[in-house]
Amino acid sequence: MHSGFRAFPAWRAILRTAALAPLVAAGLSAAPFPSAAQVDDRAMVEADRRPGEWMGYGRTYDEQRFSPLDQINAGNVSALGLAWYADLGSTRGLEATPLMVDGVVYTIQPWNITTAFDARTGRKLWQYDPKVPERFGRLACCDIVTRGLAAWKGKIYLATLDGRLIALDAKTGAPVWSTEVFDDGQPFAQVITGAPRVFDGKVLIGNSGAEAAARGYATAYDAETGRKLWRFYLVPGDPAKRGAEPANQAAADAISAPTWRGKWWELGGGGTPWDSIVYDPKLRLVYIGGGNGGPRVWSYRSPGGGDNLFLASIVAVNVDTGAYVWHYQQNPGEEWDYTATQPMILADLKIGGRLRHTLIQAPKNGFFYVLDRATGKLISAKPYAPVNWASGIDMKTGRPIMNPAARYGEKPFLLTPNAAHNWYPMAFSPKTGLAYFPVTENYRILAVDPAFRLEPGEMSQIGTSLGGPANAELARQLEQTGRANVKSYLLAWDPVRQREAWRVPMRGASNGGTLATAGNLVFEGTSSATFAAFDARSGARLWEMPVQQIPIAAPITYAIDGVQYVAINAGYGGGVAHDNLSGPSVRIGDYGRLLVFKLGGTAKLPPLVDVPTTLSPPPDMAYTMGDVKAGEALFAQNCAVCHGDNARGGIKDLRKMSPQTHAEFLDIVLGGKRAKNGMAPFTDKLTPAQAQLVHKYLVARAREDWAEIKREPAP
């Protein structure tokens, strides 16, 4: 038996005797699994007494994504096999972390379709479809994704792309209540992609949409009734209306408003808290991660400068009132699409000879931050990936030491990182003291678009470009440099010493979220379309299985009837698939799945369906350079947010269109022929003549890159 800390000190004996309940770590007596009706504050605070459950997004309130289960461990993980799988029927990105409560696995997929499965067998128990209108597919910046669910006192909570928060009966899937989140009347397009969090009887959710210049906020609702309790805006509102705002917002705006210039409230501002929200029950603080600016260009959004609080900031608020307590801003005057929305973890670390109660985060900007979670004071910050926008963090002020060139103008600037670590869940093991997360050394070309005009209600309200015709050759050179230097790896990081412990190089830029266990294991899906387990101490790859998809979501582990399982949603998509520097580099299946593994599992996936291995060249089409330039401008305004700058998106890479897609182009773009797949029609934005110009631009791009394209996998 593998040595070390044991959550299940007699697992093999359990299997021999077919015990029905798992044992509990550290000498605690066995505890029965809670029913969904028993998921509450006490159950979450005492989650380690029920280690076989996964009751919240990050398992526990601290969201460490560490499980004390160790039946599957470094000594036997090579025997891991597929126990069961479920076809989810989705062709889009599966980002959701499942839950497992009382023998039921709950998961959610694009369009917010929510399904319950028997955790032992995979039998479908119920499914709920909230019928999200197809038009919202074009308002989501980074695929029609959702990151998860929440459970509380017999209910399962989901937040829909179109802005509804819904409570379902955990046993039947029937709606209990539903409330509208988008009730503030702002004219900017909003969606929701994050997972709700529930604590202290409150359901919290943040909005998404900074790319559309939406004003960001997190809202708390009564978990039993759906009644709104409080809302916290990450961007201040119209100063003339401050007296009409709730007291918690007026106090926050008094801090944030002086850091803005111009009439920012007419421009939205951004700051959407689209992912991480964490809770400390002892301090009774909620930590909210603020998003990027909208419009992106600092001078457009806040002419005259200013730090623009609370963009790219971690903000602590009181759980009862939503009142501001403290903040830490990572990127003052944010204009690089940097955010503090990436996964936050609460960890108690021994630093400088004393125990510190910390909040740790590895956001997009490439620095690993350690904060005192009671005060927001910066304890340390070091780069975990190459960074060119700053040379370091000033520990006296907590502010970055900026590279002046990073304040780009109309001349393109090659930024790194673009997003060294994004939403992909990070795990922390108290056994090893290490944080585990996927890293990509990537790049983005940024330049001010002098022709930008704000259009409320539409996407791509960003204000940047690739540099325009005058800088086309420079942009091309920068893009080649960026593409040639992309690296990706699984990183183990020591947050106390602020240094790398180990790394495992990966093939592509879409490696998934992580899970750490007491079995000295780290699990992760890889861009090679595999699911893998690594030694948490050394990074040695101990097990790997092809799974026919790129699992970008984070795994969970649970135990039932004396058997430990590992589960993960596998489906390629999300923001990385839209990135102009990435795309699937291996053959994958058409549809996503929920995959569940156990020791000795013998289930098999069906073989991949044969698909064409060669691409058809672009069709003959007459066009002028004027047509191409006009089509490029229309593409940038309407299409690039999903299909990538310079038409290099992974969902779908439109340079690789099939002859059928070319033939149906106008029916798809204007007629809604593929609306069910997320391609909503653009009849309100494009005339037939304009849509044809976009088509000509895409044909021109395909011809331009054909030598490169024909070496890549077919979509």
According to DSSP, the β-strands at 427-429 and 104-109 are unpaired
Asked whether the beta carbons of 69 and 557 are under 8 A apart, the reply is yes
b/e map 518-538, b = 16+ CB within 10 Å: bbbbbbbbbbbbbbbbbbbbe
Nearest to 424 by CA among 61, 160, 96: 96
Q: How many other C-beta atoms can be found within 10 angstroms of the C-beta atom of residue 169?
A: 15
Whole-number Å distance between alpha carbons of 24 and 7: 6
Return the pLDDT at 457. Answer: 74
Using the structure block, give the residue that is written with the tokens 């109309």: 410
Q: How far is CA 273 from the centre of its chain?
A: 11
Residues recorded for the chain: 715
**What are the backbone dihedrals phi and psi of residue 442, each rounded to the nearest 5 degrees, phi first?**
-130, 180
User: Position of tokens 């980074």?
Assistant: 142
**Is 275 annotated as contributing to ligand binding?**
no
- Set 280, 337, 645, 653: catalytic member: 337
Was 440 annotated as part of a binding site? no
Query: Annotation-wise, does 543 bind a ligand?
Result: no
Residue 209 assigned to a binding site: yes
β-pair type (324-329, 313-318): antiparallel
533's enclosing H/E stretch is strand 530-535
Tens digits of residue pLDDT in 678-701: 788 898 889 999 999 999 999 988
Per-residue pLDDT reduced to its tens digit, 311-333 = 999 999 999 999 999 999 999 99
Cβ(295)–Cβ(75) below 8 Å: no
Q: Give residue 19's pLDDT.
A: 33
Q: In terms of DSSP bridges, do strands 66-67 and 514-517 run parallel, antiparallel, or are they unpaired? A: parallel
Was 142 annotated as part of a binding site?
no
For 399-435, letters b (16+ CB in 10 Å) and e give: bbeeeeebebeeebbbbbbbbbbbbbbbbbbbbbebb
User: Is 272 annotated for ligand binding?
Assistant: yes
Is 210 annotated among the ligand-binding residues?
Answer: yes
Whole-number Å distance between alpha carbons of 169 and 173: 5
- In percent, the amount of the chain with pLDDT more than 70 equals 90
Query: Quick one: pLDDT at residue 456?
Result: 80
Architecture label for domain 625-709: Orthogonal Bundle (1.10)
Q: What is the 3-state secondary structure (H, E, C) of 85-138?
A: EEECCCCCCCCCECEEECCEEEEEEHHHEEEEEECCCCCEEEEECCCCCHHHHH
471 known member of a binding site: no
Distance CA 665, CA 676 (A): 16
Using DSSP, how many helices (H) and how many strands (E) does the chain show?
A: 12, 40
What CA–CA distances, in Å, run from 252 to 231, 262, 341?
11, 19, 19
The pairing of beta strand 367-372 with beta strand 444-448: unpaired
Distances 364 to 58, 369, 505, 696 between C-alpha atoms, Å: 20, 11, 19, 35
Q: Is 642 annotated as a binding residue?
A: yes
Number of CB atoms found within 10 A of residue 182's CB: 16
Q: For residue 285, how far is the Cα from the chain centroid?
A: 23
- 3-class state of residue 285 by DSSP: strand
Distance, in Å, from the CA atom of 290 to the CA atom of 232, rounded to the nearest integer, reads: 11
The pLDDT value given to residue 613 = 58
Burial of 200 (0-12, 13-18, 19+ CB in 10 A): middle
Quick: pLDDT tens for 611-638: 655 678 889 999 999 999 898 888 877 8
Tokens 């393109």 — which residue?
412
**Residue 337 among the catalytic residues:** yes
Ligand-binding annotation for 639, yes or no, is yes
What is 640-676 written as a DSSP string?
A: HHHH-GGG--STT-GGG--HHHHHTHHHHHTT-TTGG
Q: Find the Cα–Cα–Cα–Cα dihedral 167, 593, 21, 25, rounded to 10°.
A: -90
Q: For the purposes of burial, counting CB atoms within 10 Å of the CB of 207, is it exposed (0-12), middle (13-18) or buried (19 or more)?
A: buried
Which residues of the chain, if any, have pLDDT below 70?
A: 1-37, 459, 469, 576-585, 611-614, 649-651, 709-715
What pLDDT is attached to residue 32? 53
Angle at 590 between CA 587 and CA 592, to 5 degrees: 105
- 606 upstream amide cis, omega within 30 of 0: no
Other CB atoms within 10 A of residue 369 CB = 25
DSSP bridge partners of 596: 84, 567
Strand, helix or coil at 628? helix
Cβ contacts of residue 354 below 8 Å, gap of 6+? none
Report phi then psi at 628, rounded to 5. Answer: -65, -45
Torsional sign, CA 441, 193, 594, 58: positive
**In the chain, what is the straight-line distance between the N-terminal and C-terminal CA atoms, in Å?**
45
Angle (CA) 224-124-70 rounded to 5° is: 85
Annotation-wise, does 4 bind a ligand? no
Measured CA angle at 280 (ends 277, 282), to 5 deg = 165
Domain edges within the chain? 1-105+499-611, 148-422+444-484, 625-709
Distance of alpha carbon 423 from alpha carbon 89, whole angstroms = 23
CATH architecture observed for domain 148-422+444-484: 8 Propeller (2.140)
Asked whether the beta carbons of 207 and 163 are under 8 A apart, the reply is: yes
Q: According to the model, what pLDDT value does residue 62 have?
A: 99
Whether residue 423 is annotated as binding a ligand: the answer is: yes
